Chain A
Amino acid sequence: MAIPISYNLRNLSVRSASTAMMIGGVAMVVATFVMVLALADGFRRAYARTGSDRNAIVLRFGSTSELNSGLSRDQVRLVAARATGLAELAGDGSPLVSPEMLVVINHPRRDDPDQSSNLAVRGVSPLANQVRANLEIVEGRWLAPGKGELVIGKAAAARFANTRLGDTIEFAKRTWTVAGIFAAGGGAFESEIFGDAEEMLNAFGRTGFQTVTVRLQHRDDFESFKSEIAKETNLQVDVYREQEYYVQQSRALRNFILVVGVVVCSIMSVGAIAGALNTMNGAVLSRRREIGTLRALGFSRVAVLVSFLFEVLVLAAVGGVIGCTLALSVDGLQTGTMNWESFSDVSFSFHVDWVRHFGAGIAFALVMGALGGFFPALRAASANISRSLRQY
């Protein structure tokens, strides 16, 4: 027969200070753990939402980022020709192909105009808003080519100075006007500013583009597009699915967050397990006579073991839930950093995933509880009845 659960619950309330401390310790570890997961995931999501799996991006062979890619006009023409029949068509029948140029400018920040950060500036085709299907103008309008206009991602508009609708920005020796603010489904494009590629090539004194992005008619057309490109043996380019490409670009920083996070959490969890061990050992010691009584009443060793394990798991679970709740406070919190791959500022938000992160957090709490509680529970179960009942 099992020992009633109310016995454990009452015990917990009797030893309230000690109970609270153990719950607190587990909660802190779980909160840190979930926050790290939410940070790494938020960063990955920003990039996963940047590209579409229906788009293909073409870069120079061997280039590791858009910045160090380079494509001549001839290469761009060949890529566009090979995309015929595979690329989606715009309303006017022209294929949705965007040859693009990407540079980084040092621009004053909004929070402190004396400080500047690296802002990514992308010269795009006037059709780029159709190539990127999730691009949505939230203020103003899409840029008109040839008029020195810019559209600004909403995250860039929040982090950089002079980026409101109608503002003018000076770079590359000319003045540009902000014609619109856009959203891009929370992706990294929201941290960039877009202008007309031809105008930008001119202003920055460049002759070639860096990448070409093609919107395919169907996501399965990617392989055909890739083999079409491969037929052009002199082309010397790499072709990626746009979405996979951007996720790849976030890898280095995400790995850094995860490595630091895992080291911190595993060291912390050893501490929390030691705490659980101490608490439960104390609980077992101070309840020696009770345990003896229970055993004398006929409860089996297994029942005692299960009862103590149950008690520590309840404690750990409560700590886990509190930790997850604490971590929830950072959900959606906007932050930004410089992504080393793109050498520019990228905004992203903490993303707490109710199922995966909370599941992981509570599982982590239960594992800590079980590891810390098992041996004390075993000790309780294996106690000698007559010795336990003796006065000490």
Chain B
Amino acid sequence: MKYLPLILANIVRRNRLRNSLTILVVALAILLISLLIGIQAAFTSASEVSDAARLVTRNKVSLVFPLPLSYGAKISALPGVQTVAGGNWFQGVYMRPENFFARFAVQAERFLAMYPEYRMSAAERDAFLRDRGACAIGKSTADRFGLKVGDQIQLKGDIYPGLWDFTIRAIYTVDQDAYDDTQMFFHWEYLSERIAQDAVGFFMVQVRDPEQAGDIAKTIDALFENATAQTRTETEKAFSLSFATMMGNVQLLLMVIGAAVFLAMSMVAINTTMMSAQERTSELGIQRALGFTAGTVGALVLVESETIALLGAALGFAMTLGLESGLKSALASFAPTFHVPLWAYAMGLLIAIGIGAVSGGVPAVRAARLRPVDALHAL
């Protein structure tokens, strides 16, 4: 502790430009890695927060094929099934194709009952359920387009052609970043009436006992084994994961970029620490001559580089926090659940300590091995 003023003086007084640049570089590395982790996590977050008591039943061929509405009642009648809600992927375009957010037609009352994570006031909920032309949107989407309860929005249909008008009756919030609060839900009946079809894209099935989810999934599929449209039922988690795996090598790619970032930034940081230690050779010699042990001199160099790296990490965390919400809205169409998970910060801390150790290690050993007589010779 008594060396603290010495270390601080070295960092603050000496070569301020260089030290601030190094801190900046470490901070940028931490920022980039946190953001990459955040994007990667967004692809899998839906599966992590999925409810083990919820199953998804869809047409066995693929999601683009519908199921008859009557399947819903048959599934509800199975023992162990609590609620069944049918729904369709609506897609559509809101003003411009870039304004993408997920839009679903759902059997609203039952759907909301099995999704308590979408929170809305009782008044808004009732208003939404009463009005057939109503929709509920997530807070992120409301903020993104400046929409409020009572506003009208119009979608241009693509899967279901025509212009579709909705009144926003509810804006829901979520209490966990991993839940998607960009989606829009409206009444399935509104859709089916207009297209005069009873086709359902998927059924969400809530079971009473999550332990039985697997068995019930098998029972559902067996029920329609010989029907016109066969089904495939899987847990909500498996369903979301299958989407993530369809994205292919995106995760590998992000990891490669992360590694490149780490390597590039460490090189820059190591370079500067080495330069600063080298320039101080004679000074380190004086310290040795004054009676500092080899260990102390080496440790001082190491602590200094660790301090710089940790200051960098702190700055990096601050930048991550500052940029996170801006990036969340920039990525709203692609990765609606983008957020930087807590473990990304832990990872950033480890990386900073690693950069500090590597960049301080070599100069520290060199400083410790220094013979005072050689070091002073250079003076």
- Give the complex CA separation of A31 and B263 in angstroms: 12
Tell me the smallest distance from the CB of B23 to a CB of chain A, in Å. Answer: 10
- Give the complex CA separation of A16 and B279 in angstroms: 15
Give chain A interface residues in 88-112, CB to chain B under 8 Å: 103-106
Give chain A interface residues in 112-152, CB to chain B under 8 Å: 115-118
Name the one of A39, A61, A64, A172 contacting B97, with C-beta atoms under 8 angstroms: A64
Q: Is the CB of B246 within 8 A of A117?
A: yes
- Give the complex CA separation of A330 and B65 in angstroms: 37
- Give the complex CA separation of A281 and B17 in angstroms: 9
- Give the complex CA separation of A260 and B40 in angstroms: 12
By secondary structure, the A interface counts as helix
Q: Is the CB of B270 within 8 A of A21?
A: yes
Name the one of B249, B267, B331 contacting A25, with C-beta atoms under 8 angstroms: B267
Quick check: which of A78-86, A297-305, A335-343, A356-364 contacts chain B, the rest being far away?
A335-343
Quick check: which of A1-9, A176-184, A271-279 contacts chain B, the rest being far away?
A271-279
- Give the complex CA separation of A35 and B256 in angstroms: 10
Q: Chain B residues near A256 (CB, 8 Å)?
A: 334
Q: Is the CB of B35 within 8 A of A263?
A: yes
- Give the complex CA separation of A27 and B260 in angstroms: 10
Tell me the smallest distance from the CB of B364 to a CB of chain A, in Å. Answer: 15
Q: Is the CB of B25 within 8 A of A271?
A: yes
Q: Chain B residues near A332 (CB, 8 Å)?
A: none
Q: Is the CB of A336 within 8 A of B17?
A: no
Is A63's CB within 8 Å of the partner chain B? yes
Q: Is the CB of A271 within 8 A of B268?
A: yes
Q: Chain B residues near A271 (CB, 8 Å)?
A: 24-25, 28-29, 264-265, 268
Q: Is the CB of B264 within 8 A of A281?
A: no
Known: A28-B263, A117-B246, A336-B248. A275 touches B25 (CB 8 A): yes
Q: Is the CB of A60 within 8 A of B161?
A: yes
Is B299's CB within 8 Å of the partner chain A? no
Known: A29-B264, A285-B279. A278 touches B246 (CB 8 A): no
Tell me the smallest distance from the CB of B46 to a CB of chain A, in Å. Answer: 15
Q: Chain B residues near A62 (CB, 8 Å)?
A: 156-158, 161
Give chain B interface residues in 1-35, CB to chain A under 8 Å: 17-18, 21-22, 24-25, 28-29, 31-32, 35
Tell me the smallest distance from the CB of A173 to a CB of chain B, in Å. Answer: 9
Q: Is the CB of B275 within 8 A of A278?
A: yes
Q: Is the CB of B61 within 8 A of A106?
A: yes
- Give the complex CA separation of A91 and B291 in angstroms: 98
Is B232's CB within 8 Å of the partner chain A? yes
Q: Is the CB of A105 within 8 A of B264?
A: no
Q: Chain B residues near A267 (CB, 8 Å)?
A: 28, 31-32
Is A383's CB within 8 Å of the partner chain B? no
How many chain A residues have a CB neighbour from B under 8 Å?
Answer: 60
B 257-301 binary contact with A (CB < 8 Å = 1; else 0): 100110111011011101100010000000000000000000000
B 216-260 binary contact with A (CB < 8 Å = 1; else 0): 000000000000100010000000001101111110010011001
Tell me the smallest distance from the CB of A54 to a CB of chain B, in Å. Answer: 27
- Give the complex CA separation of A24 and B261 in angstroms: 11
Q: Is the CB of A343 within 8 A of B64?
A: yes
Q: Is the CB of B158 within 8 A of A278?
A: no
Q: Chain B residues near A275 (CB, 8 Å)?
A: 21, 25, 267-268, 271-272
- Give the complex CA separation of A68 and B158 in angstroms: 6
Is A230's CB within 8 Å of the partner chain B? no
Q: Chain A residues near B196 (CB, 8 Å)?
A: none
Closest to A261 in B: B257
A 158-173 binary contact with B (CB < 8 Å = 1; else 0): 0000000000000110
B 198-229 binary contact with A (CB < 8 Å = 1; else 0): 00000000000000000000000000000010
Tell me the smallest distance from the CB of A22 to a CB of chain B, in Å. Answer: 6
Known: A21-B271, A24-B267, A39-B253. A103 touches B245 (CB 8 A): no
The 5 sampled A-B contact pairs (Cβ below 8 Å) are: A32-B257, A65-B158, A205-B228, A268-B261, A270-B28
